[in-house]
Amino acid sequence: ENDPIWPLLESGYGGVLFEGYDKVKEKLYENVEALLASRSDSDAPDVRISWGFLDPVTVAATFEALEIPQDLDILKIDIDSFDLDLLEAILVAGYKPKLLMVEMNPDIPPPIAWSAAYIPTYHHLWDKVKSGHYGASASAWYTLLSRYGYGYVGLEVEDRRVECERCEHNMWFVHESVAV
């Protein structure tokens, strides 16, 4: 419920939620069930959950098996690891989300372009995530997404001096095909 994408789902968007973190499994299923039950429009797009971790090697086949359209409306990448490699594999496979929300590593300031590289066991290394070794810097995201026709439109950054219910550090991009 505290996810920045959740209001879009509440307003009627559909899609597939990919998750692999067991601690949130029960709550995620409860939230999606309640969301779908609250929809008054029976023609609203479905919201599905695909359980398990994604990786750059298998993501294109997973998207194809789930019949995710190549021109999907929204894609959020927040896996606390090899985020940039995962999104690049999605883009190379021909998917062009209209709106992208990506988690950026706020510990690495511009102009440094850095990202955690994909290795098969990375998502199990939570100690590295806690120490700031995860994701991609703002400059790395900007560099990658500019090559694929995306423009930067916004940034959310947490204030580490205060405790917050939903601390985020995300960048938002829109594809040139829908930019006004």
Q: Is the distance from CB of 47 to CB of 36 less than 8 angstroms?
A: yes
Mean pLDDT value of segment 78-83: 88
Determine the average pLDDT of the residues in 64-91. 92
Gap between the Cα atoms of 96 and 89, Å rounded: 11
Reported residue count of the chain is 180
| Predicted local distance difference test score (pLDDT) of residue 123 | 59
What is the reported pLDDT for 3? 82
Across 7-31, average pLDDT: 89
Q: Would you say 122 and 153 are in contact if contact means Cβ atoms under 8 Å apart? A: no
Looking at the predicted structure, is the pLDDT value of residue 124 above 70?
A: no
Percentage of residues in the chain having pLDDT higher than 90: 56
Do strands 169-175 and 150-157 pair parallel, antiparallel, or not at all (unpaired)? antiparallel
Residue 2's nearest CA partner among 145, 134, 168 is 168
pLDDT (0 to 100) of residue 150: 97
